[in-house]
């Protein structure tokens, strides 16, 4: 998508000054680990060094990112998201505020990749699959199949199943591992 390289370059310049960690996820990560898919926005998870989002929002504004809501502090407190738009490209950026639990693990396992000449931390393919299984929409399940097709033998399915088991227990669900196994079987059949 035009404008994404500049957007990523601007994020890579500003986020390390304000965050203990960050990573790209969503459709942009699917393009790294799976197959190309159009998306109207860019999603990042960030772990801010301070609970006070005001100075961070001001710094992002100086770096070329404008807020899409009138009261970012209240919005972030309610939904843990800071919705920006990259002024130069017009592309929306949703900055998800990392919380305890899986996001901490996702931050620790993010892998730095080079996208259009920019070094960017990206959610691991295994963790991306977990988030997509959890979302469970048809396009998310197609993303899972794309990641499984592209990553091949190096993909850690047991890690995915282990994390999905923890999420099933935490969310009182029993369908996540089955959904993953169904997608893995579908991919395996197409490779045969």
Kind of pairing between the strands at 91-97 and 81-86 = antiparallel
What span, in angstroms and rounded, lies between the C-alpha atoms of 15 and 56? 9
Q: Specify the CATH class of 4-123 in words.
A: alpha beta
pLDDT at 100: 80
pLDDT at 192: 59
Sorted by where each begins, the domain ranges of the chain are 4-123, 130-191
pLDDT at 71: 94
pLDDT at 35: 81
pLDDT at 34: 87
Tell me the pTM. Answer: 0.90
pLDDT 10s digit of each residue in the chain, 192 long? 668 889 999 999 999 999 999 999 988 899 889 887 777 789 999 999 998 999 999 999 999 999 999 999 999 999 999 999 999 999 999 999 998 888 888 999 999 999 889 999 999 999 999 999 999 999 999 999 999 999 877 899 999 999 999 999 999 999 999 999 999 999 988 865
| Cα–Cα nearest to 6, from 76, 86, 85, 96 | 86
């Amino acid at each position: 998508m035009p404008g994404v390289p500049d957007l990523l370059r601007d994020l890579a310049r500003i986020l390390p000054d304000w965050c203990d960690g960050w990573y790209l996820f969503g459709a942009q990560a699917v393009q790294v680990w799976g197959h190309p898919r159009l998306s109207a926005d860019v999603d990042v998870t960030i772990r801010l060094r301070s609970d006070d989002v005001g100075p961070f929002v001001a710094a992002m504004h100086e770096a070329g990112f404008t807020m899409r809501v009138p009261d970012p502090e209240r919005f972030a407190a309610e939904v843990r998201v800071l919705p920006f738009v990259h002024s130069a490209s017009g592309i929306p950026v949703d900055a998800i505020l990392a919380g305890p639990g899986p996001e901490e693990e996702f931050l620790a396992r993010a892998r730095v990749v080079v996208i259009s000449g920019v070094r960017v931390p990206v959610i691991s393919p295994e963790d991306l699959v977990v988030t997509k299984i959890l979302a469970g929409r048809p396009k998310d399940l197609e993303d899972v199949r794309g990641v499984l097709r592209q990553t091949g033998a190096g993909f850690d399915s047991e890690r995915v199943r282990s994390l999905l088991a923890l999420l099933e227990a935490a969310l009182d669900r029993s369908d996540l591992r089955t959904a993953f196994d169904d997608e893995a079987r579908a991919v395996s059949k197409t490779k045969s």
